[in-house]
Structure 1
Amino acid sequence: MTILNRLKLKSRMILILGLMALVQTGLIGLFALHYLQQSLDEQIGQRALHVAKTIAAMPSVVEAVEGGDIRYLQPISLLLAEKTQARFVVIGNINGIRLAHPNPYKIGQSMADDEGDDSAEALVHGKGYISKALGSLGWSMRGKAPIYSEDGHKVVGVISVGYDLNRVAEIIQRYRLTLILVIIGSFVLSALIAVWFANHFKQAIFGLEPEQIARLFEEQKATLGSVREGIIAINAEGKVTTFNPAAVETLGLPEGTQLSGKNIKDVIPDSSLLEVLKSGIPQYDRELWLNDHTFVANRLPMKQGDKITGVVSSFRRKDELDQVSKKLTRIQQYADTLRSQAHEYSNKLHTIAGLIQIGANDEALALIGQESRSHQKLIRLLLDAVPDPILAGCLLGKYNRARELGLRLKIDPESRMTELPDHLPREQLVSILGNLIDNALEATLHSDKAAGEVTLSMSDFGNDLIFEIEDQGPGIDEAEQLRIFEKGVSSKAKEGRGIGLHLVKNLLDNLGGTVTVEPASQLGSRFIVYIPKQREQRSVQAE
């Protein structure tokens, strides 16, 4: 077994298939030879018995046997042996004494003297039979038949007709040579088939050896076990073929539940995996509602050539992703705020230092007071109108960002955003608002007619949260207003544009909200966002 394991898969398959063909052909050959010998023996025996019964029924022979007429029986037995191509025709009387024999010296002697003689069956019981025995003339297949008297009431003698078995041996030898040639041919053909099959099989398993496949299988099991995302794969019949412990845990199933072989509908009703299996179109970052939790899933079809052989899906609870996203959003907000403030106050400090150096102390104090009053006014507005710290931090960061760009972010003092629903993801809200403000700042910055101001108005009256962002940019054509939210579409001819508004549209679709674009009152564009306060009961597709 150790030597076999050292061989490549192709060599193993050629060797094993060749040996199997050799053994199978050899066994079949031995059986064929044995069956052929038995068949030939039986045919020759039946022929000998038929000849013996025919001779025993000849009236002249019956009469000669009853009269003990050796002179008639001896030549007739030789003639009949020649005519029937028999080795011998022996005729005996009721006492088993030979009346005719190919060897004249045997005439008159008892047939019982021959080794293996069994004439009693014919003489005593009056039955014809076939036997293979060694007689005075060697091995032969014999047929013996009783000779009945003319009235048919009693046995008066016996006819023994024998055929030489050497002819049978010659036939067997001829077939044996043929069979050896067939075995050699089968072995060569099996080797060629094994080479073709091994090449086809190796191609199907990507040229891997069995040991490599086993190692990859163990690595796959370890990988699936270490991944925190749930993974489920189905075959073309919709039955689960692969899953990991995280899938069982994420779906809320009992620990140790075996999913292999189960139909995906029995595991996850209304599964979209069957839709991907049918269409072959992958699905990315799809949200689904299952077991009172929201999941984010990716589904990819598995193909072999042009044929879809299955689908694999990875999924994870959305609240885990939201926690990570929330942390990243806060960190980015803090970083933007600190960077903007550092840049802004660095400029102010340089200005104040310059004023003090030239002795303009009153102007320096006035500038310090102005900065303090401006920030205090903004902070009081945010504390009163926007008590949510995440949203307030976002607005403060964008305010400082605008000042860094030499622009002004004006927040309507009548704004009010105190009734933010708990279910509304804050990171999605600030992403929507942040992208729209950044877009407005950039549009205003690149406009020659702009006064450098972006206006934000917020309202939580009624059933919706309403945000209005107005810029002083060049505006958006009506034709472009229908395409501005598509991915990659932007009024700036730069690579990587057209992402922010596309993200805003996707986030609003997820929250059940809408966004409209219209010309501003004087210059630029106004984006109006509506987000419902009540979560809509949407029918979310299951995994």
Structure 2
Amino acid sequence: MILTLGLLGALQTTLIGGFAGYYLSNSLYEEIGQRALMVAKTVAASPAIIDGIRSRDVPGLNALARRLAQTNQALFIVIGDDQAIRLAHPDAARLGFSMGDDDGDYGEEALIHGRAYVARAMGSLGESMRGKAPVIDPANQRILGIVSVGYSLSQVENTIGRYNLVLYGVVGLMLLVTAISAIVIAGRFKKAIFGLEPEEIAHLFRERDATLQSVREGIIAINRDGVITTANRAACDTLGLSPDTRLAGQHILDVLPDSTLLSVLESHQPDFDHEVWLQGRQMVVNRLPVRQGDEVIGVVASFRRRDELDLVSRQLTRIQQYADTLRSQTHEYSNKLHTIAGLIQIGAHDEALALISSETSDHQSLLHLLLEAVPDPIIAGCLLGKYNRARELGLHLDIDPDSAMEDIPDAMPRDQLVSVLGNLIENALEATRKHTGPGGQVRLSMTGLGEELIFEVEDQGPGVPEAAQQAIFERGVSSKGEDHGIGLHLVQQFLNRWGGSVTVENLPEGGSRFTLYLPKQPDETSNL
């Protein structure tokens, strides 16, 4: 930038200075020529000159010419007759000779056509700017002779030199000012762009664009006027817009009429993990003001569909449940195998057979119940895992034999239903284990009659205080301490999307009952 501005300033200054110098030189030459012409006309009109030429008074003409030349600061005044023969000349040796001897100009324009003119020529007295005028007899308008007045060009060049000295000084000063201005401007500009060179800025821009497009979260940035300056493809996808939609340049309220990004411009405060509805979709939004010094110049918002985050949470919860189920089954069956092996080793074959028969009978009864009541293998597998989990904890999961869950709609996502049911049973087992210890019982009842799926989970825990029966479904609220309070929050999120509900009540004999109601057809206003 310094080189560009400096060279541009130098080029402009040089062109302007050159034009000014050229124009000044031509103006001075023209001015000297006009001055010579004016003096020549004045001398030619002098009666003394006219009379001198008539009488061919050479001494008188020479004396008069020298005096007039001195008076008008001319280099010379030459007077000739109608044949261009010199009658007056500063060099007496040239008297009587033709005026065309010096430069070939015999003054035909003045002598023949009677017109005064200006000429530049090299004569015996050096290069000069000459003004030539005819001497006309006023009595009969006959051309008597010619007057040539010359001014030395060395005088003009000296004058031009003085002017050029000033001009070049001004040009040099302008160049210096331009260079200093370029350095100052480049310094301020470089400071504004954090010391980056243009190539680095272009590289960072390409990196930023690639990064924005690779992020799965929607990102929109606005300036202080609320106009969108940046948006990635994920923003269009998340908002349900066409991938070809150009968001940049549009006002945020034209794209999202309910957007609250402008409020961040006013409050200057960031907003994290805020749940909002955008274009009929529930989003989790982060909004961060962009600052330049102490001034907020824009806002950047990132957003993602809530169900995507819930899906990740449910997947993690389900993986945890699967891991717990496998661990409990491994632990339980390992203990039983060791027991059976010990009975066989000590010769207690009848006791070993009885234990095997009891174990087989319990599982056969449970499997038969699950196959009849819950044909869906995913839900049946979840209940079987929770049954084994309860046995590992020293508890008993009692599934109501009259349960029937055959009418689960195909549209209901099984992974979400398993996550919800597993969280309720796991919470019931945990509450029962802490309150009653080994031997406690958790009861599960299911029915799919009518228009709803109903699940009832009863525990033998301490119950849920009435003041906390709604708060326990909020994120992070739990009686288990920190890093808990996710399971029931996911339950509530699923119910909100599907249009279901859950009730909590304390039992007279102790413990609590969670009743889950899920419509077989989702709420039309829900967003799955």
Partner of residue 501, structure 1: 488
For 1:502, the aligned partner's letter is H
- CA 1:506–1:230 in structure 2 vs 1: closer, same or farther (change >3 Å)? closer
Q: What SS does the corresponding residue of 1:52 show, helix, strand or coil? A: helix
1:446 to 434, 448, 451: 434
CA distance in 2, matches of 1:464, 1:70: 141
Alignment TM-score, normalising by the size of structure 1: 0.73
Unaligned stretches of 5+ residues in structure 1: 1-12, 254-258
The superposition leaves residues 228-277 of structure 1 with CA deviations (integer Å, 9 ceiling, x where unpaired) of 96988778554778769x98xx9887xxxxx59x45699x9985599587
State whether residues 514 and 531 of structure 1, in contact with CA within 8 Å, keep that contact through their aligned partners in structure 2: yes
The superposition leaves residues 125-159 of structure 1 with CA deviations (integer Å, 9 ceiling, x where unpaired) of 33333333223322223333444442695544444
User: 1:48: how far off?
Assistant: 3.0
- CA 1:336–1:353 in structure 2 vs 1: closer, same or farther (change >3 Å)? same
User: 1:326: how far off?
Assistant: 8.9
For 1:164, the aligned partner's letter is S
Alignment TM-score, normalising by the size of structure 2: 0.75
- CA 1:351–1:219 in structure 2 vs 1: closer, same or farther (change >3 Å)? same
The superposition leaves residues 475-525 of structure 1 with CA deviations (integer Å, 9 ceiling, x where unpaired) of 44444344333333333333x223333333333333344444444454344
The answer to whether residue 444 in structure 2 is matched with residue 456 in structure 1 is yes
Partner of residue 422, structure 1: 410
State whether residues 265 and 271 of structure 1, in contact with CA within 8 Å, keep that contact through their aligned partners in structure 2: no
CA distance in 1, matches of 2:108, 2:503: 120
CA distance in 2, matches of 1:315, 1:394: 30
State whether residues 79 and 89 of structure 2, in contact with CA within 8 Å, keep that contact through their aligned partners in structure 1: yes
Unaligned stretches of 5+ residues in structure 2: 265-270
Partner of residue 130, structure 1: 118
State whether residues 275 and 282 of structure 2, in contact with CA within 8 Å, keep that contact through their aligned partners in structure 1: no
How many pairs are equivalent?
A: 514
User: 1:439: how far off?
Assistant: 2.8
CA distance in 2, matches of 1:21, 1:400: 86
1:491 to 465, 479, 488: 479
State whether residues 273 and 311 of structure 1, in contact with CA within 8 Å, keep that contact through their aligned partners in structure 2: no
User: Which stretch of structure 1 is more off in the superposition, 357-366 or 378-387?
Assistant: 357-366
- CA 1:242–1:154 in structure 2 vs 1: closer, same or farther (change >3 Å)? farther
State whether residues 282 and 527 of structure 2, in contact with CA within 8 Å, keep that contact through their aligned partners in structure 1: no
State whether residues 405 and 448 of structure 2, in contact with CA within 8 Å, keep that contact through their aligned partners in structure 1: yes
Q: What SS does the corresponding residue of 1:162 show, helix, strand or coil? A: strand
2:161 to 163, 173, 177: 173
CA distance in 2, matches of 1:539, 1:272: 20
The superposition leaves residues 175-223 of structure 1 with CA deviations (integer Å, 9 ceiling, x where unpaired) of 5445555565555555544544554555555555566566667777887
User: Identity over the aligned pairs, expressed in percent?
Assistant: 51
CA distance in 2, matches of 1:513, 1:411: 22
CA distance in 1, matches of 2:231, 2:112: 77
The superposition leaves residues 406-446 of structure 1 with CA deviations (integer Å, 9 ceiling, x where unpaired) of 23333333433323232322222222222333333333333
CA distance in 2, matches of 1:536, 1:47: 104
For 1:422, the aligned partner's letter is D
User: Which stretch of structure 1 is more off in the superposition, 440-449 or 384-393?
Assistant: 440-449
Paired residues for 1:129-278 under 5 Å: 129-150=117-138, 153=141, 155-178=143-166, 181=169, 185=173, 188-203=176-191, 206-208=194-196, 238=228, 262-263=246-247, 275=259, 278=262
The answer to whether residue 392 in structure 2 is matched with residue 373 in structure 1 is no
Partner of residue 382, structure 2: 394
For 1:411, the aligned partner's letter is I
CA distance in 2, matches of 1:478, 1:76: 133
User: Which stretch of structure 1 is more off in the superposition, 458-467 or 151-160?
Assistant: 151-160
User: 1:106: how far off?
Assistant: 3.9
Partner of residue 83, structure 2: 95
- CA 1:26–1:345 in structure 2 vs 1: closer, same or farther (change >3 Å)? same
CA distance in 1, matches of 2:501, 2:106: 112
Partner of residue 399, structure 2: 411
Partner of residue 331, structure 2: 343
Paired residues for 1:458-473 under 5 Å: 458-473=446-461
